Structure 1
Amino acid sequence: MDKYFVNLEGETPKYVIITKHIKKLIDTNNIEDGEKLPSIRSLSKFLKVNNVTIVNAYKKLQNEGYAVQKMGSGSYAKKKDITKNFRKEYSEALKKIAGKAMQEYIDFTGETPSNNFFPVQSFKDVLNEVLDRDGAEALIYQEALGYEGLRTSISEVFWNKNIKSDNILIVSGAQQGIDIVSKALINTNDSVIVEKPTYSGALSVFKWRRANIYEVPMEENGIDIDKFEKILKKNNIKCFYTMSYFQNPTGMSYSIRKKQQILNLAEIYDFYIIEDDYLAELIYDKRIEYKSFKSLDKNDRVIYIKSFSKIFLPGIRIGYLIPTARFKESIENSKINTDISTSSLMQRALDLYIRKGLWKDYMSNLNEIYKSRYLLMESYIKLYLEDKIEFISPGGGINFYLKIKDFIDMDSIQLFRKAKNKNVLITPGTLFYKNPLEGKRYFKIGFSQIDEDSMKKGLNIINELLE
């Protein structure tokens, strides 16, 4: 009963104070969903108020969706799902302020590098060279698996010829890659494991395939292996979807040891790994060593997906996929049935861009620029928000994942709405969980689209809202 104690002094009506206190207990899980609330008589006696005050408080809780009354039994706590329909609200809000209107906002939602750093002139020169070399063929000629020259470049430059060009499939970005793989692998009621939290686009694809989705919590160096294996022992798992570097949204990266453990488990329990190699080019902490699941895979268990769009230029929409031998044909057929071919001109241009060494130079420059921004953002988060949030520095990538401390009476959806009204955009954590309620205390902020002044101003506004 002690948790129900609240100071009732002040001008605010007592029943309002009691209602607010019980709502907070429910929101913070101090009162469980479905837990029976104290009887009117016992709570009025404990708080030294009359019965009518408690009756009014319970009625207000019911009206606001925080309690239900069962005839002859009493009142019971009800966890209000404020996340219902929020995904739609969030998407529509960003659509409304897209384009020129976005310039009025401090945008912490960006998930791609700023176009201010894109080497327009050098890419323009490459495009012209491709058109001079290939003529109309660059615009018309298509290959189902992707342009052979680009597949060869990827094999030579990124895989040191350890992956044959015939085993590389060009796709229109990582999202299409996930979609193609899921169509080839996953049928209704197949079981998949995802990280908790995880990329919302992947969650949507697996839900659309009507898969049974199991979640394993992320730790600082990858998923919790013990909980992972418990799921594997009890269920016939088809595949595990993972973002191996700077996972979206947590920013965490897998240790090589944990990757090897997961690869061993894949062989023991006969499942496949869908590796979404996200932002691995942006490693700032040199203690993080780059070795993908695919590069460590000795038993052909990893289906590898890489997007050039995220790190290069979103409008280009190019990525690639490396299937396992078992699913190679079905994945290729899935790609052909989806859209036949990705832009021939852009594939040829990207091939030449890589062959000329321009890709390597651009990545080196981008890494230097974003390391500086990363360190600034990290320092400003500590300066403005450290007493109100918790976070782990990811050591790379383009965002931070923050947890609102429990003593603050605000969740990330409320923060999103209040911040939007002050022209600041954040990404609530509810979007990254199978059960959105689990992300209520989290939000993601990226630094790819904002300058130093905007960082300071935006974080200061968030700080004021969390006061």
Structure 2
Amino acid sequence: MEKYNIVFNEDTPKYLQIANHIKKLIYIKKVAEGEKLPSIRELSRMLGVNTVTIVNAYNRLEHEGVAIRKIGSGTYAKEKEENRNLLKEYSNIYKKINGGTLKDYIDFTGETTCSEFFPVENFKEALNKVLDRDGAEAFTYQDSLGYDGLRKSINNHFWGGKLDSENILIVSGAQQGIDIAAKAIINVNDNVLVEKPTYSGALNVFKSRRANILEVDMLQDGVDVNMLKKLLKKNKVKCFYVMSYFQNPTGSTYSIEKKKEILNLAEEYDFYIIEDDYLSELIYDENIEYKSFKSLDIYDRVIYIKSFSKIFLPGIRIGYLVPPIKFSEAMQNSKVNTDITTSSLMQRALDLYINEGYWRKHIKLLNEAYKSRYLVMEKFIKSILETKVDFYSPRGGLNFYLRISDKIAMDSIELFNKCKKYKVIITPGVLFYKNSMDGDRYFRLGFSVANIPEIEKGIQIINKLLQ
């Protein structure tokens, strides 16, 4: 019975707190499927609440499909079937969309730029110039570090020549960068810190390394540093995975002060920071200053990862990684063991694309186009969804992260399934947590693929479903 104890807060109705607590117990297997829940009188006495509160909590659990009431017998736990199958369902839907039925859906799941903004003509021109210039050599294997010209261009154009080009490793996108970093520094049972919530692809990498994953709550200006300090005092941590700008999924951006504080903690507690510099090109608020963890790192504690795929051409699969000097050789070996080298032709074309000024023009175009979509989605969320959701504006990036109001008896999985029937696809928050039930009230809306009329129509449908 002790597991049912709960410390109430004043902000949320007690019946909702009780329902959410029991739901989490069911998900993490502390209450087994089919196990009888305490009787209404028994639980009301134990928690010091009236029986109506417990009745409302059990009704909520039954409505959400995680409990079943048997007349004359009591209420029993029941794990939601869609909870177990959500990842598979989400994956299947996404395959269908990518398989050619995109026009049938309003897609709020996109994490990369829309195909209408792909710089096809300019990139085709760059490819032709590379082929004319380099001929068959453009198709040969490069140094395992990557094409020397591209590494120098990255250093000069994005870092002002402050890095050592020999310490820049070209990778096939951010996901491979995270995988390479993890293989180089994380061993079985190492403690790895992640933001809560965080990118599911990173969680999968750390789980595959059989690391112990510790979560730190996200706030609007980065993680909760007090919580981070408590975890560091109790645990020997190997590394901390962070997304410094417009974090996926919350949209949070770290303040420069918080970055400096975390870097100091990394030195004090001897851990490394894996920085996934996600969508930092798309800043819509001039008050946000761009300074990565890596640019502020005086201790050589940051493994910096940047993908070009999200904001350029997803199909070219190019990014880069800058490790601390201590891990340079281990990261290079990890890359070679993964796939030897990234496409030589694409590296050369991207190098020329950057050097001829196309990159700068492309980013300017994206900022203008996506800022207008961002402002439209923000306006519609505020005016249409109003009291049905809670959120804060990220001021950049490609997503909004919303929490369903406690007044609405629906979780993000149910909303996902209902939206799907109306040809609207959202990303349920359960995908971004180590324990997915922590995200059952959250969902992410992206505006990178949907146009302005679709954004309004999709939000109107979500509003109707949340009534």
Q: TM-score, normalised by structure 1?
A: 0.87
2:212 aligned partner: 212
Answering whether residue 259 of structure 2 is matched by residue 259 of structure 1, we say yes
Match of 1:194, SS?
Answer: strand
1:155·1:163 contact (CA, 8 Å) conserved in 2? yes
- Offset, 1:100: 2.0
Q: Please identify the structure whose Cα radius of gyration is greater.
A: 1
2:275·2:302 contact (CA, 8 Å) conserved in 1? yes
2:223 aligned partner: 223
Structure 1 residues 32 and 307, CA gap change in structure 2 (3 angstroms): closer
Q: Distance in 1 between matches of 2:156 and 2:103?
A: 41
2:119·2:312 contact (CA, 8 Å) conserved in 1? no
2:3 aligned partner: none
- Offset, 1:80: 3.8
Q: Distance in 2 between matches of 1:113 and 1:79?
A: 40
Match of 1:401, SS?
Answer: strand
| Cα offsets for 1:89-145 (capped at 9, x unmatched) | 211221133232111100000000111012211111110000000000001242211
2:28 aligned partner: none
2:302·2:324 contact (CA, 8 Å) conserved in 1? yes
1:166 aligned partner: 166
Q: Distance in 1 between matches of 2:22 and 2:92?
A: 33
1:108·1:445 contact (CA, 8 Å) conserved in 2? yes
Q: Distance in 2 between matches of 1:39 and 1:26?
A: 14
- Offset, 1:325: 1.0
Match of 2:382, SS?
Answer: helix
Q: What percent identity do the matched residue pairs reach? A: 60
| Pairing 1:309-348 to 2, within 5 Å after superposition | 309-348=309-348
- Offset, 1:28: 3.5
Task: Please identify, of 331-340 and 378-387, the stretch whose mean Cα deviation from structure 2 is larger.
Answer: 378-387
Answering whether residue 368 of structure 2 is matched by residue 368 of structure 1, we say yes
1:350 aligned partner: 350
Answering whether residue 406 of structure 2 is matched by residue 411 of structure 1, we say no
- Offset, 1:83: 2.6
2:412·2:440 contact (CA, 8 Å) conserved in 1? yes
Answering whether residue 251 of structure 2 is matched by residue 288 of structure 1, we say no
1:25·1:31 contact (CA, 8 Å) conserved in 2? no
| Cα offsets for 1:362-391 (capped at 9, x unmatched) | 101111111111111100111111220010
1:277·1:305 contact (CA, 8 Å) conserved in 2? yes
Q: Distance in 2 between matches of 1:372 and 1:431?
A: 28
**Unpaired runs of at least 5, structure 1:** 1-21, 49-53
Match of 1:275, SS?
Answer: strand
Q: Distance in 2 between matches of 1:268 and 1:141?
A: 42
1:38 aligned partner: 40
Q: Distance in 2 between matches of 1:92 and 1:231?
A: 37
- Offset, 1:37: 2.6
Task: Please identify, of 411-420 and 136-145, the stretch whose mean Cα deviation from structure 2 is larger.
Answer: 136-145
1:3 aligned partner: none
| Cα offsets for 1:301-344 (capped at 9, x unmatched) | 00000000011110010000001111111110000000000000
- Offset, 1:79: 7.4
AA aligned to 2:94 is L
- Offset, 1:68: 9.9
- Offset, 1:295: 0.1
2:188 aligned partner: 188
Q: Distance in 1 between matches of 2:430 and 2:448?
A: 22
Match of 2:40, SS?
Answer: coil
1:31·1:77 contact (CA, 8 Å) conserved in 2? no
AA aligned to 1:37 is S
2:40·2:51 contact (CA, 8 Å) conserved in 1? no
Q: Distance in 1 between matches of 2:170 and 2:457?
A: 41
- Offset, 1:31: 8.5
Q: What is the alpha-carbon root mean square deviation over aligned residues?
A: 2.7
Q: Distance in 2 between matches of 1:91 and 1:37?
A: 39
Answering whether residue 87 of structure 2 is matched by residue 87 of structure 1, we say yes
Q: Distance in 2 between matches of 1:120 and 1:323?
A: 32
2:41·2:51 contact (CA, 8 Å) conserved in 1? no
Q: Distance in 1 between matches of 2:217 and 2:110?
A: 24
1:236 aligned partner: 236
Q: Distance in 1 between matches of 2:210 and 2:384?
A: 43
1:66 aligned partner: 67
Q: Distance in 1 between matches of 2:184 and 2:277?
A: 20
- Offset, 1:36: 2.5
AA aligned to 1:399 is N
Answering whether residue 208 of structure 2 is matched by residue 197 of structure 1, we say no
Q: Distance in 1 between matches of 2:419 and 2:398?
A: 20
2:23·2:66 contact (CA, 8 Å) conserved in 1? no
2:274 aligned partner: 274
1:32·1:77 contact (CA, 8 Å) conserved in 2? no
1:460 aligned partner: 460
AA aligned to 1:401 is Y
Structure 1 residues 270 and 464, CA gap change in structure 2 (3 angstroms): same
AA aligned to 2:321 is L
Match of 2:325, SS?
Answer: coil
Match of 2:260, SS?
Answer: helix
1:430·1:440 contact (CA, 8 Å) conserved in 2? yes
1:24·1:409 contact (CA, 8 Å) conserved in 2? no
Q: Distance in 2 between matches of 1:382 and 1:94?
A: 28
2:436 aligned partner: 436
| Cα offsets for 1:429-450 (capped at 9, x unmatched) | 0000001001000000000101
AA aligned to 2:96 is K
| Cα offsets for 1:150-169 (capped at 9, x unmatched) | 00000101011111110100
- Offset, 1:290: 0.4
AA aligned to 2:198 is T
- Offset, 1:214: 0.2
Q: Distance in 2 between matches of 1:423 and 1:323?
A: 43
1:12 aligned partner: none
2:145 aligned partner: 145
2:381 aligned partner: 381
Q: Distance in 1 between matches of 2:241 and 2:23?
A: 34
Match of 2:274, SS?
Answer: strand
Q: Distance in 2 between matches of 1:24 and 1:296?
A: 43
Q: Distance in 1 between matches of 2:40 and 2:384?
A: 40
